[in-house]
Amino acid sequence: MRIRHLAYVSLMALTLAGCNDALDTASVDLSTVKNKVEQPLPSHILADMAQKGMDRNSPIMIRIFKEEGAMEILKANQSNRFEVIADYKICAWSGRLGPKVKEGDRQAPEGFYMLTPANLNPNSKYYLAINTGFPNRYDAANGRSGANLMIHGACSSSGCYSMTDQQVLEIYAFARDAFKGGQKAIQLEAFPFRMTAENMWKHRLSPNIDFWKMLKVGYDNFEVTKRPPEVEVCEKKYVFNQQASGPFNAGGKCPVMTTPPALQVALSTYDKQYQADYAVAMKKYDDMAWYDPTEAERKAVVAKQRKGHDLAYAPTGTALAAGKMMKVADLEAMMSNQSAQQIARGGTVLSPSTNPSTASIRLATATPAAANPAAETPAMAGQQPAGPVVAANIPANVPIPMANPMNPGLNPLAYAPSPAVETAQTEAKKPPFWKFWAKSE
């Protein structure tokens, strides 16, 4: 127990140090910024771009990992593969792990969102802001509500991903430059955590696990191709990188879909390693599962670690620092107690970390294949046989990436139409992205 306690203390200290470092990484003196909308990226970032073979105005994508409180900016290199060019510790995010469901639940969105120039707000009261685009087509099809969910400065959040003003100055500049280069839409991928086999096992008891399995398919597609996946929505689900016999309707029946052969093979190989890693995680943690801390518990860790220090910024901390692995029985009892207390106070349990029901636990301890939707059989997914099922059985969403007419030589997966023309373009014949991907391998 003492070793485990020391490990947790060390993790908290490292996380705190990471947050403090992140607050300092974007070290521009804001008093010297004359035009925040046109403020250039720092010279050290431009130097990193040149070293990695990236053009200043090449496409970007954004990835968020709630649990560790991390935001990554990825940029296309000369091979049209996206790699991390900058990363930040999120200063404040509210709620717990899990998607935003309704207005007022204080949850920050999870899913796949497309950001157009219209999403940029240079006049935000929070210094600068980028609207996440919530609710997207998936959210709307599933009756989820909320508005004005942003990435913004000021380090204060109620459903947003809030950064320091210095950080959002850089993030805004990345998006601005990419749009100037011709990118039509930037993909924002917001995940609860990195979708590794170990993390999927740790969180298997969460009532959000089916939603996360769906997101994992998009996550896997990026890990295989290193390009933003093409995202569609049908039957109120996300689907990724699918060749379809007809148009997609968010709430309607999915068209007949197949996975491009080269991508299917790559995903199958990727999944074999995932299954091996999942088996290791099952054995390693056996009857253990992760306790996802409340926002108050995250803040308490930060307050304790920073006691006596300047709290000009009061980050909400990370779930990694405040959460812990627990015996399933103990976790069930804790979550039941939390739920009872919340109900007694007149509240509702919007997004608990763990569903303490016996049925939930039985489902969660199924085989590794069931834990990874990509490995399900056609019979399980209700789809036609076509090798590994990649997307048809998993929720889908968001605007549709299209080739950029301003710069057709760049990755067509990095672009999407603006919301105003999305419907018309959805019905038009799209570029064969799978041929582009296979040809460039």
Give catalytic residue positions. Answer: 152, 160
Q: How far apart (Å, rounded) are the C-alpha atoms in residues 356 and 376?
A: 25
Q: State the number of CA atoms in the 13 A half-sphere of 156 facing the CB.
A: 7
Q: Which two tokens stand for residue 175?
A: 């998006």
For residue 84, what are the CA distances in angstroms to 75, 144, 357, 389?
A: 6, 31, 40, 29
Q: What is the 3-state secondary structure (H, E, C) of 404-428?
A: CCCCCCCCHHHCCCCHHHHHHHHHC
Give me 126's structure tokens. 């929070």
Residue 307, classified by CB atoms within 10 Å of its CB into exposed (0-12), middle (13-18) or buried (19+), is: exposed
Q: Is 202 strand, coil or helix?
A: helix
Measured CA distances, 147 to 101, 135, 157, 270, 439 (Å): 11, 7, 14, 37, 41
Helices 261-285 & 209-225, crossing angle to 10 degrees? 130
Helix (H) or strand (E) holding 273: helix 261-285
DSSP per residue over 6-36, as a string? HHHHHHHHHHHHHHHHHHHHS---GGG-S-T
The torsion angles phi and psi of 24, rounded to 5 degrees, stand at -100, -15
Joined together, the tokens standing for residue 349 give: 């349990």
Give the SS3 label for residue 299.
helix
Cβ-Cβ contacts under 8 Å for 367 (sequence gap 6 or more): none
Interatomic CA distance for residues 374 and 389, integer angstroms = 5
